Amino acid sequence: MTSAAALPTSATARVPAKINLELIVGPRREDGYHSLATVYHAVSLFDEVTVSAADEWGVSLEGPHAQGVPADATNLALRAARRLASAAGVEEPVHVRIRKEIPVAGGMAGGSADAAAALVACDHLWGLASGRDELAEIAGELGSDVPFLLGGGTAMGSGRGEVVAPVLARGTFHWVLALSACGLSTPEVYAECDRLRGSRRVPEPTPRRDMMTALRSGDARALASALVNDLQDAAISLRPKLGDVLEAGIDFGALGGIVSGSGPTVAFVVENNEAALDLAVSLTASGTVQDVRRATGPAHGAHIVAAPRAD
C-alpha cells in the first residue's frame, strides 16, 4: 500500500468496448455457461469510471447511454468495487460515477467494461498496487468478459470467456458500429442459440487458423472474410432487422460485417478512416441505422486517466 498522504482523492479509469472477431460457441456446460473459443478485440469507444471516497457505497450514471443501467447495489461496477474492497480489507466506501458511451445490452460488454474500470480505479485510489493476476481473478468472478477488458488489445478467450491469452495481431483496424436503441439480453441469445441447435451434437470449440493468419497479417480484407459469430443466427432470429443492417453495410461498401457478441450491435470492418466515414454517412442517410459510431482497434484496456491529489 502507498502512504495515505500520497493517495489521490479520486481516480478515473477509461475502458474500451469490445467486439468479438470470432465467437465459436461450444456445448452448454453443467453450470449453464457455454464453452467458448473467442477472439476479443477492444475498440475505441470508451466509458469512464470515477471512484471517490464517500460516506456510503453508491453509484451514479451520466452520458448518452446511461439509461437502463441499474443505479443500485446490483450495478456490476459497484459490485466490482465492493468485491475488491473485501478482498483487500478496505473498509471505506466509495461512490462510483460512470460516464457511459458504450451501449447497454449491446453485445459490446458495456457492463463488464465498467466493472474492469472500477477495479483499476479502486486499486489506484486505495494504493493497493494489485497484480494483474489478482485483479483478473476477481474480474472472472464478476463476468466472463471482465478479465479481457483489464488488458484490452486483441486476445483469445477460452473457458466461458474468462481465460484470456494475447494473440499476435498487426496494425490497426477501422470499424463502423451500427448501434441499436433497444438491447438484447445475453442469456436469451444463448438460449435461442441452443434452441436453434436442437438436439444436434455440438463439438468443443476450437479457434480457427484463418483468423489467426488474418490477425498476423494485419490485412483488413483477410480479417473480413475470417469474421465468425455462432450467436449471429440467434441474434437475427430474435431481431430480424439485424439481417437488413448487415446487408446494408455490405451493399454500402464494408469489407465484412458481424453481429458483435450477443448483439444487437453490428460491427463493419472497412479499409481505412475515409471508408469508415463514407459507410457511416451512407448507413445514417439510408435510415437503416439511427446511431452509427466509428472506432479503431485494438484499444488499450482499463487504464487510469486522472487521479487528482488534495494538495
Cβ closer to ligand C5P: 104 or 277? 104
Please give the Cα distance from 178 to 281 (Å, whole number).
11
Cβ closer to ligand C5P: 12 or 186? 186
Q: For residue 246, which amino acid is it?
A: L
Please give the Cα distance from 255 to 275 (Å, whole number).
10
Query: How many CB atoms sit inside 10 A of residue 296's CB?
Result: 14
Sequence-ordered strand ranges (E) for 123-214: 154-158, 163-166, 173-179
Please give the Cα distance from 11 to 127 (Å, whole number).
11
Which residues lie across from 259 on neighbouring strands? Answer: 266
* Residue whose entry in the numeric block shows the C-alpha cell 479457434: 207
CA-nearest of 130, 193, 166, 117 to 1 is 130
CB of 225 to ligand C5P, least distance (A): 25
- The answer to whether the CB of 256 falls within 8 A of the CB of 209 is no
Cβ closer to ligand C5P: 48 or 162? 162
Residue 18 among the catalytic residues: yes
Among candidate residues 18, 47, 100, 114, the one labeled active-site is: 18
CB of 220 to ligand C5P, least distance (A): 28
Sequence-ordered strand ranges (E) for 109-252: 154-158, 163-166, 173-179, 228-229
* Residue whose entry in the numeric block shows the C-alpha cell 446490483: 74
Among candidate residues 47, 114, 145, 230, the one labeled active-site is: 145
Cβ closer to ligand C5P: 262 or 282? 262
Please give the Cα distance from 116 to 165 (Å, whole number).
17
Q: How many CA atoms lie within 13 A of 61 on its CB side?
A: 23
Cβ closer to ligand C5P: 159 or 253? 159
Cβ closer to ligand C5P: 32 or 240? 32
Cβ closer to ligand C5P: 143 or 256? 143
Give me the residues that bind ligand C5P (CB under 6 A), please: 33-34, 36, 143-145, 160-161, 186-187, 190
Buried b (16+ CB within 10 A) or exposed e, 202-237: eeebeeeeebbebbeeebbebbbebbbbbbbebbbe
- The answer to whether the CB of 168 falls within 8 A of the CB of 216 is yes
- Which residues form the catalytic set? 18, 145
